[in-house]
Structure 1
Amino acid sequence: MRLLNRSAGRLSRHRRGPLAGLVVLLFGLLLTGGLYAAFSPASAEKTGTDAEQIAEGRKLFLTSCSFCHGQNGEGITTRNGNQLGPSLIGVGGAAVDFQVGTGRMPLVQPGHQTTPKDVTFNDEETAALAAYVQSLGAGPDIPSEALYSTEGLSEEEREELAVRGGQIFLTNCSACHNFEGSGGAMPRGKVAPSLQKTSSKHIYEAMLTGPGEMDNFSNGNIAPEDKKAVIAYLEAIEENPDYGGFGMGGIGPVSEGMYAWLVGIGGCVAFAFWIASHTTRTDKKPQAAGGEADQ
């Protein structure tokens, strides 16, 4: 009994020592790290893969993007105060995937608006660039396929989703892209691009990040399921044929009125002039004065 009391006293003295807290802290860290490494090897492997992807993205960024956006994505401003390239810190990987995946970036030359062109980087390189920019600061990441894909839904579910998406699109998007997503002219010489033949992922990313003059519809403004509904509406428009014949750009009453005046009424007026000019002609030649008398 005395031996136990002596041992307890020694332990009590050691617990009150200056190094006791440090030893306990180190033991706790070792135990936590060992348990984490034992039960989550997949996560550790993924972290290594992500680090390699980020490193590869930085190499591509330095050779293709740093001239305008800076070596660390901080952006570059000229001596005149003009912005050569905006900062990419906090824009997220979704913005990079949209801009690079649609060919808008890298720019051929600086301009007031980026336009789609042939892509420069393949899918792996685009993903690496997106991973690097995502590492610069928190921002919207590349969405998973489940967020924007309508595959696997029944016909009734897709129709219901498209109806709801049409209401959202007509309220928030048709002012620039018109009611069927054909795009159109905007003030100051800019153009709202056509959404036809655009992938569902890029449409979702555009709503999420707001490229160019487009508003940023974050998940707080338009929920992910509502973004998916908008995509279902655009897909339904492309799948349905135009039973009216020539679509006339899908602008609506404006184009129909223009065609009615120019082609319809204009054609009728031109045809009336043609008829009038042909009915007043004659093959008889006027006789000279006094010709009958001479005969």
Structure 2
Amino acid sequence: MTGVTAKPRLTQYARGGGCACKIPPGELESVVQGLAGPAHPDVVVGLGTGDDAAVVRIEAGVAVVVTADFFTPVVDDAYDFGRIAAANALSDVYAMGGRPVVAVNLVGWPRDVLPVELLAEVLRGGAEVARAAGCHVAGGHSIDDPEPKYGMAVTGVADPERLMRNDAAQAGMPLSLTKPLGVGVLNNRHKSTGEVFPQAVAAMTTLNAEASRAALAAGVRAATDVTGFGLLGHLFSMARASGVSAVVDAAAVPYLEGAREALRDGFVSGGTRRNLDWVRPHLSATVSEAELLLLADAQTSGGLLVVGEVPGAPVVGEVVAAREHVLTVR
């Protein structure tokens, strides 16, 4: 069921929306190349593989997991925007197999354009999701910004010997996906038309906590979350970091209701097209261009892409030995 939101519409105050606003992956890699610095034995996960968060060992059996994520509005409702942005920021900790402990808010707000009452709703939404995650919110930082932006810097804890990493995928293992795709095209339709898609909001505000715990219990060692670079982009990063290739069974990938219709009607973001362009040189596909665009759809607060099986999550492909094409879609 769809409806029309009341004004002001937050998405109209930003050029893009959500994780589709990320700097393109190829461009970002060229910027951060060479910044890693000398390796330190306590830095368990750093800049080298482009993983979801940094991990630093602080004592035997204990590591801190640190991440930050913020973006422009992906929905018009301020409270939902806060919930989505917080769930997305916390997701990076869950993707590493960690437990979020404390977060601080990151805010950009056009204070002369949008009422501060809306900002209060954004922060209320973020606080509610953090509370559900058992994560303290202890302050933050704000600036006067032409575009509204919100997110969190999150610190968590993990066992450094039981991390889920993007460079630990092994050939012969299945690939599981814990949330359906399609929020990118639905969010783009929402921004363009004002239609509200509760199924997309529900997916984006669902924490990856349970999926992370289930994956750890199953002995999973390799995972990533599917966000702005789409399933194909994040899978390519994981396969490349691990020195393997991957096969995607397109027919097995779940999608939110309305996603295919949004694609058919042309609601594809520039970020999604850039994602597909980035992986295309490393891709062999026997499916349509439309199917590839859905697989490259820029997600916001997406699910975990897990190397292994997770109860209740569909198997969408497999990891295979390295070959000419890093990704095969059939």
Name the TM tier (shorter chain).
Answer: under 0.3
TM-score (norm 2): 0.23
TM-score, reference length from structure 1: 0.25
Larger helix percent: 1
Bigger strand fraction: 2
Question: In terms of Rg, which structure is larger?
Answer: 1
